[in-house]
Amino acid sequence: MCAVAFFYNFSTNLLETANASGMSAAASYLDREKSFFATGFKSMDLICTSIATCIIIISPISLLPDKFGIAAFAAVPLTVSLCSSLVEFWFSITNFPATGSDNMWPFHWYNAVNKYPYEEAIAGTAIQSFMKVAKYAFFDIVKELVAMKIDPSIRPLFKGVFDGSITKLGKSIGSFYGIIMFAITGAQDSRYYFGVTTLVIVFFCSIWVLPIRYLSKSYSEAKKSGTYMDPGLSNPDIKL
């Protein structure tokens, strides 16, 4: 669960940084006032996130993990992160030259004739919304189901770690990655090196599958046997 929380927050941080850069560049390219331009899309993000999350939570969809296992729900944030990184990658190499700079090697040769700054702002808003919905309506449900299968005597310890410490660690490592890439490239716009960022996200997503499989298997076994999940510190024979 800690690994899943880390990967989600790390990926979210990288995507949010790229989206913020794209939003700022789009406002400049379209000759719009940046704060007003961003506020409009932020409002759209909040409205769409709220509506989508409420619909999913009050619908029968939220009951599926308890009946069929948590693997599919746990895989939603992974899938959204992976797809979002690919969408952001395309917009990065397509629109970034519009800011007056060349793309990072090896994408410096690509200079699209048509630019899509407004479409990038819309896509960035959609990505932000999808990532939040993936957390509130899928990841958080899995997190609570897993927590209920941990021995109550140590449950607060583990919830404190994957709800707090690991969440902050993922965001901190994401910010540290940005600092390192800025030191290497000197680019304030994170879309310049988003090709590298995409590879990093794809790499983490390939590892992300492993803890999801472990959680799904452990949760299913604990549910069938009527025991708590064994996080390595508890007795696996404790009965519910």
Label each residue of the chain as H, E or C.
CHHHHHHHHHHHHHHHHHHHHHHHHHHHHCCCCHHHHHHHHHHHHHHHHHHHHHHHHHCHHHHHHHHHCCHHHHHHHHHHHHHHHHHHHHHHHHHHHHHCCCCCCCCCCCCCCCCCHHHHHHHHHHHHHHHHHHHHHHHHHHHHHHHHCECCCCHHHHHHHHHHHHHHHHHHHHHHHHHHHHHHHCCCCHHHHHHHHHHHHHHHHHHHHHHHHHHHHHHHHHHHHCECECCCCCCCCCEC
pLDDT value of residue 236: 44
In sequence order, what are the residues at sequence separation of 6 or more whose Cβ sits closer than 8 angstroms to the Cβ of residue 138?
Answer: 56, 73, 74, 76, 77
pLDDT value of residue 52: 93
What does the domain layout of the chain look like in residue ranges?
2-225
pLDDT value of residue 65: 81
Distance in angstroms (rounded) separating the CA atoms of residues 190 and 183 = 12
CATH code of 2-225, in short, is: 1.20.1250
pLDDT value of residue 234: 45
User: Beta-carbon neighbour count of residue 160 at 10 Å?
Assistant: 11
Q: Identity (one letter) of the amino acid at 9? A: N
At 56, list the tokens: 């999913």
Distance in angstroms (rounded) separating the CA atoms of residues 90 and 96 = 10
pLDDT value of residue 112: 60
Let me know if 97 is exposed, middle or buried by CB neighbors in 10 A (0-12, 13-18, 19+).
Answer: middle
pLDDT value of residue 111: 60
Distance in angstroms (rounded) separating the CA atoms of residues 16 and 232 = 34
pLDDT value of residue 78: 93
Angle between helices 71-95 and 117-134 (to 10 degrees): 160
Please state whether the predicted TM-score (pTM) of the whole model is above 0.75: yes
Nearest-10 Cα torsion for 88, 94, 95, 99:
120
- From first to last of its 240 residues, what are the pLDDT tens digits of the chain? 788 888 999 999 999 999 988 888 888 888 888 888 888 899 999 999 999 999 998 888 878 887 777 888 889 999 999 999 999 988 888 876 554 445 555 665 566 667 778 898 999 999 999 999 999 989 888 888 888 888 888 888 877 777 778 888 889 999 999 999 989 888 888 888 888 899 999 999 999 999 899 888 888 888 888 888 876 544 444 443
